[in-house]
């Protein structure tokens, strides 16, 4: 069965080829040449381990997965483990992105064939995204950077084997690559929490920076910035759930102080939590350094929040939330009160869609705004 043709029809219906050059680029790049013979799917076995999709065991299932328009291929877990080791539970640390988001990002990047765009691509991985970019801008105009040495070597080999010769660097993509700067376009296939200074400084006036953007509270916004005069500013243009750039990963430290105080909640936690990704993402923009997790069920159901440094914690009971002992606060910050405040501010603004929000990055730091860059909601130094 021609799974590439099936994917092409699905993508066409979705409007994925609205940039005319994308259809020919999609047809030119054989995605199968960039997929390993074994990778993990999202399905799990009875032990909760992700199952392996192995070309040798079932070539048809392998090809069907490779050309799936909506699912990425998990190629690495825990910073080095590959699917040759079998079914596994672990943290996803590299993948081949799903076709729908690959093409959506290239639509948003605003490149055209024949234009001598200098493009910086962060996160080479398998090389598939770099190959499609090379089809458009030419290998000579593309620099692609991969942090992981094993992935960098594999991506470079895949690209050479398919006839593409971009500049492939093993290094920290957050620092860019001075030798091929300045850039007209910067595109990342890993998520960040702030825009690196080097991306702004090494971009030409009018350059576009397109990057998946996460907060600790919620993941998955696609941020599109325009660089002018060394300032990068723009809004969220869609969703894009990607793995973290390694140095931007959450610390996951939780060391609540000994002292605590009790309080009632001013609002039912159900009003704030579990209302869908779009609301969570908007609230996370107000509180980018706060993480949360859920635990317990029924009368024991709770949510726990903590700040990035692990110095403040709040535990909120869903049951009888109005009572004086429903909320336990540790440390200087009352994180539940801050989240309630963020929710109230969002509601008073008319519950705007996350695509109404934008960010500006300048020498002073990061500035969150709503509707217009002049309408700043919060500012903080970049970290």
- Residue 1: exposed, middle, or buried by beta-carbon count in 10 A (0-12, 13-18, 19+)? exposed
- Using alpha carbons only, give the angle 219, 222, 227 rounded to the nearest 5 degrees: 130
Q: What is the pLDDT of residue 252?
A: 63
Which of helix, strand or coil describes residue 5?
A: helix
One domain, residues 79 and 112? no
- Residue 85: exposed, middle, or buried by beta-carbon count in 10 A (0-12, 13-18, 19+)? exposed
DSSP 49: P
Which residues are tagged catalytic? 97
Residue 276 within any structural domain of the chain: yes
Residue 359 within any structural domain of the chain: no
Q: What is the pLDDT of residue 319?
A: 92
Average pLDDT, the chain: 93
Kindly tell me if the per-residue pLDDT of 256 is higher than 70.
Answer: no
User: What is the Cα–Cα distance from 216 to 367, expressed in whole angstroms?
Assistant: 17
Rounded to 10°, the helix 3-14/59-66 angle is: 20
Q: In the chain, how many domains are there?
A: 3
* Confidence category of residue 251, pLDDT binned at 50, 70, 90: confident
> pLDDT digit string (tens) for 78-135?
999 999 999 999 999 999 999 999 999 999 999 987 666 799 999 999 999 999 999 9
User: What is the Cα–Cα distance from 243 to 379, expressed in whole angstroms?
Assistant: 25
Residue 381 within any structural domain of the chain: no
Q: What is the pLDDT of residue 255?
A: 63
Q: What is the pLDDT of residue 41?
A: 93
Q: What is the pLDDT of residue 217?
A: 94
One domain, residues 195 and 106? yes
One domain, residues 141 and 224? yes
Q: What is the pLDDT of residue 253?
A: 59
* Containing structural domain, residue 292: 260-348
Tell which of 47, 72, 96 closes a domain. 96
Assess contact for 253 and 310: CB atoms under 8 A.
yes
Q: What is the pLDDT of residue 151?
A: 97
Q: What is the pLDDT of residue 382?
A: 74
- Residue 153: exposed, middle, or buried by beta-carbon count in 10 A (0-12, 13-18, 19+)? middle
Tell which of 218, 244, 270 closes a domain. 244
Kindly tell me if the per-residue pLDDT of 68 is higher than 80.
Answer: yes
φ, ψ dihedrals at 69, nearest 5°: -75, -20
Q: What is the pLDDT of residue 309?
A: 84
Residue 32 within any structural domain of the chain: no
Kindly tell me if the per-residue pLDDT of 137 is higher than 70.
Answer: yes
Rounded to 10°, the helix 99-109/3-14 angle is: 50
Q: Worst-scoring range by mean pLDDT, 242-246, 339-343, 351-355?
A: 242-246
One domain, residues 92 and 103? no
What CATH number corresponds to the domain at position 152?
Answer: 3.40.50.150
Count the alpha carbons within 13 Å of 143 in the hemisphere toward its beta carbon: 22
Q: Worst-scoring range by mean pLDDT, 2-16, 145-159, 223-237, 296-310?
A: 296-310
Answer whether the bond into residue 303 is a cis peptide, omega within 30°.
no
User: Looking at residues 356-364, what average pLDDT do you find?
Assistant: 95
């Amino acid at each position: 069965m021609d799974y590439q043709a099936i994917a092409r029809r699905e993508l066409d219906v979705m409007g994925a080829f609205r940039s005319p050059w994308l259809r020919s680029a999609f047809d030119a790049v054989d995605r199968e040449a960039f997929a390993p013979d074994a990778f993990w799917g999202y399905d799990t076995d009875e032990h909760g381990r992700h199952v392996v999709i192995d070309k040798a065991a079932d070539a048809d299932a392998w090809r069907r997965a490779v050309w799936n328009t909506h699912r990425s291929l998990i190629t690495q877990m825990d910073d080095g483990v590959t699917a040759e080791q079998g079914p596994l539970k672990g943290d996803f640390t590299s993948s081949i992105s799903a076709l729908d988001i690959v093409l959506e990002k290239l639509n948003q990047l605003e490149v055209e064939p024949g234009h001598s765009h200098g493009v910086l691509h962060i996160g080479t991985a398998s090389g598939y995204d770099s190959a499609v970019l090379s089809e458009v801008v030419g290998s000579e105009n593309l620099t692609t950077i991969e942090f992981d040495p094993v992935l960098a070597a594999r991506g470079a080999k895949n690209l050479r084997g398919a006839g593409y010769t971009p500049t492939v660097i093993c290094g920290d993509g957050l620092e860019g690559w001075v030798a091929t700067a300045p850039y007209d376009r910067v595109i990342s296939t890993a998520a960040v929490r702030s825009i690196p200074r080097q991306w702004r400084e090494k971009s030409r006036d009018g350059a576009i920076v397109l990057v998946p953007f996460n907060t600790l509270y919620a993941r998955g916004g696609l941020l599109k910035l325009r660089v002018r005069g060394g300032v990068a500013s723009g809004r969220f243009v869609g969703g894009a759930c990607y793995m973290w750039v390694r140095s931007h990963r959450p610390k996951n430290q939780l060391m609540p102080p000994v002292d605590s105080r009790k309080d009632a909640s001013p609002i039912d936690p159900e009003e704030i939590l579990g209302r869908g990704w779009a609301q969570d993402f908007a609230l996370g923009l107000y509180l980018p350094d706060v993480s949360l997790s859920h635990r317990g069920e029924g009368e024991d159901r709770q949510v726990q929040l903590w700040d990035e440094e692990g110095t403040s914690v709040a535990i909120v009971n869903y049951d009888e939330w109005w009572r004086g002992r429903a909320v336990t606060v540790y440390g200087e910050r009352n994180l539940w009160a801050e989240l309630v405040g963020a929710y109230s501010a969002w509601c008073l603004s008319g519950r705007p869609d996350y695509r109404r929000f934008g960010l500006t990055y300048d020498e002073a730091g990061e500035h969150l705004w709503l509707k217009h860059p002049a309408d700043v909601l919060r500012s903080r130094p970049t970290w």
